[in-house]
Every structure is written in structure tokens, then in C-alpha cells.
Copies of this chain bind each other. A is one copy, B any other.
């Protein structure tokens, strides 16, 4: 570890639907200390209190705020231009007690309490920046990052720059419509890609596939009162379970079809996948790749790479978010 001089470190925070991950990062991209808190608080004050406690705890461990150049945050619907989080359906504390969406002045709230500058972006954008700076997309100028977590997020890099768009919200590809009049999504729409290809989406597919078939399956032996995870489906597929493979086929085909259309937009060199579901590997990938090419124009058929993140799950988003803070 290099000597910690003043302002030589940054702090990255990945705000997820279930938990928020924090880490202090040095200039070489090494995460020196890290921690995790819950994101399930129902009001913003409780969440901000828990988060600033965790931030101060980490900062204390590396020698105090004088060492910290800034804090970079990746959060669902995080707005790079305004430093806000708004309309994030997977975060309860983005809504008041009557369910009305609130604009959370996230950067300001944390900056005023911790006393260092703060910048915010979409969690998937942060993962994309992490991948471009330290991961598989290093040196790549045009790629689309797809994060498969509680939801499906995306970060679009064009000419080496993250796309923020007119208002700072660009890259909500998880809410493009994968199935017309399909499953109801938290965002209010129907058939969003996220309702099929997120962790929750796959669990919904498991329920559907088991209900619509009378084939035997290892998955039927699992506790049906709680959602079956993509990891459990993966384990079943590894044992040759036909219904488990069918679930990845359905999921992969929807992803590939969606990716084919994303490619028609920005003509990327690669699609980079990140997150738990991406680990289903061959069971998912063969269907994504086939469907991505079947639905593609001749100019891009079999030309766009499907890659997997090379960063550890928790590291990618922390590193990406922290990379933003170097620019502060």
C-alpha cells in the first residue's frame, strides 16, 4: 500500500436495492477498507444516518477526511448532473409515507454531513466506468454495460465517454419493452426487460415454467414459498435438469433479442454483463448469443462480443463510483 497523503484517496459507494456497499480506494484502484449496510430503510433520514455512520467509520480507519478527495456514488436513477436520486422504484426511501416519489438531494445531503465533495451517477454507469478503468472493457471506446441484479441496469459508453443524455438519466435499458403487454414492472410499465432478466424476473419465470409444465424437476423439491434464485436454477442445470435449462433459454432469448436492438442504436464493440445471473455461464450465454445474432442486421451478425465482467461483484461498482470522485 502506498503512503496515504492528503486527498490521495477516494470513497466509492454502490447503492443497491437490498444493500449499499462502501469502499475507500487508492489511486491504483486498490480497495483499502470496505463495508456494507442495508438499503431497506423506509425513510430517507434513517438511510442517510446509517450511510453517513458507515462512511465516517471507513474514513476514520484511513486517517480522517483530510485523506479523502471525494465520494463517488452509483445509485439507481442517480443523476450525474443534479446529484439527485429520484423515481427509483427499488428504493423505498425514494417515496414518502403516502407512496409519492421524492427527489432526494443525495449528493448535498451526504456532502453537508461528511464534509467532502460528493458526486452521484446511475449504479450501472458506475459499474461501466469501473469496467472501463480496471476491468474487461479497459481501452474499449464503445460498449454497453448491462448489470443483472435486483433490477437490470445499463451504462452506455460511446467514444470513451459515459452517455448521460439531456437530463443525466440516459441508459435505462432495463425498462425497454421486452414483451408487449408482459409482466408488470415496479416502474409502472408492462413487459420491461427487467421483469424477465433480473434476479426477481428469473424467479418469476421459474414459477411460470413449473406451473405450466408437468415435467419432473429438481426445482420442484425446493421451498416454493420463497423465490427460487438463479443460482439454484444454475445448480439444477448443472445436474442436467431440463426445466432449469428451459428457464435459462427463455431468459437468454429475451436478453439476446433486446441486446440486438441495443446494438442497432450505438454499434458497440461489446456488451459487458455483470451480476449474479451472468454467472449462469454457458446455460445462458448460448441463448443470448444465438438470439442476439438471429435478430441482427447483416452488418453486425456475429461481430459484437458478449463479455463478462472480470471484476469481483462488489468491487466493480465501488471502483466505478470511486473513479468518478477523482474528477472532483
Q: Contact residues of A with B, CB < 8 Å? A: 77, 86-87, 101, 141-142, 156, 158-159, 161, 163-173, 175-177, 180, 187-189, 257, 260-262, 264-269, 295-300, 303
Per assembly, the copies of the chain total: 2
Interchain CA distance A173-B261 in the complex, whole Å: 8
Chain A contact residues: helix, strand, loop or mixed: loop
User: Are A166 and B268 within 8 A (Cβ)?
Assistant: yes
Partner of A267, one of B86, B168, B175: B168
User: Are B269 and A87 within 8 A (Cβ)?
Assistant: no
Complex contacts, A156 vs chain B, CB 8 Å: 265-266
Report the minimum CB–CB distance from A293 to chain B (whole Å).
Answer: 11
User: Are B171 and A265 within 8 A (Cβ)?
Assistant: yes
Interchain CA distance A35-B161 in the complex, whole Å: 40
Interchain CA distance A187-B299 in the complex, whole Å: 10
Interchain CA distance A173-B263 in the complex, whole Å: 10
Of A142, A164, A173, A297, most buried by chain B (CB within 10 Å of CB) is: A297
Report the minimum CB–CB distance from A298 to chain B (whole Å).
Answer: 5
Complex contacts, A257 vs chain B, CB 8 Å: 177
Complex contacts, A269 vs chain B, CB 8 Å: 166
Report the minimum CB–CB distance from A75 to chain B (whole Å).
Answer: 14
Nearest B-chain residue to A172, judged by Cβ: B264
